Chain A
């Protein structure tokens, strides 16, 4: 089973709201990722968690706050977002985040976020 699940599927929020995106995997993977994807563009890496510790933050604004409560779960807390943050947010997982042959990332279906 190579399934990564994400909830909610769609989210509309105002600029003063606080919301959270959730991602879950049960493949025993120890690395989890958040990506942001704008229309007609490739995914852009935001955060990487390795063994439940934040290992990469690609200079993401602090209005995005990731959390990894355990090895199967990854959250992205959203606060005071801007309209330009509207995008598809993808979660992915892999065996681990180290360099090595074929470290394949498996993606979830994404959460489509609209900020009004």
Chain B
């Protein structure tokens, strides 16, 4: 079945550092891919998405490119801020069986001033 593997956290960075959070997937078809962010005490917010190979999703300085050849959707940001401290979830829309989201385990990011 479909699955998502996300890098373990926590990730601790200094302000203005470059961020990469790795996400790889396994799917029988061509899933839509998503990144969600969850700030402390809140629900999940859609950060960006991509629906086909080579699509690049971007929002608030974050980017991720749908790479079919490496089955990856890594999240990047050139210069993180303290306000980016949150938990980031990679997710895919299932390609077989009942349609639902498959979530990664989440990566906690802490940005220090």
How extensive is the interface on chain A, given as a class? 20 to 34
Alpha-carbon distance between A40 and B99 when the two chains are bound, in angstroms? 24
**Which chain A residues numbered 1 to 30 have a C-beta less than 8 Å away from chain B?**
2, 4, 6
Is chain A's interface secondary structure helix, strand, loop, or mixed overall? loop
In the complex, chain B residues whose CB is within 8 Å of the CB of A48:
100
Known contacts A90-B44, A110-B42; can you find 10 more A-B pairs with CB under 8 A? A41-B105, A45-B100, A45-B101, A92-B44, A99-B93, A99-B95, A102-B32, A103-B99, A104-B34, A107-B44
In the complex, chain A residues whose CB is within 8 Å of the CB of B46:
2, 104-107
In the complex, chain B residues whose CB is within 8 Å of the CB of A2:
46
Indicate if the CB atoms of A101 and B43 lie closer than 8 Å. Answer: no
**Which chain B residues numbered 70 to 113 have a C-beta less than 8 Å away from chain A?**
89, 93-95, 98-101, 103-106, 108
Alpha-carbon distance between A112 and B40 when the two chains are bound, in angstroms? 12
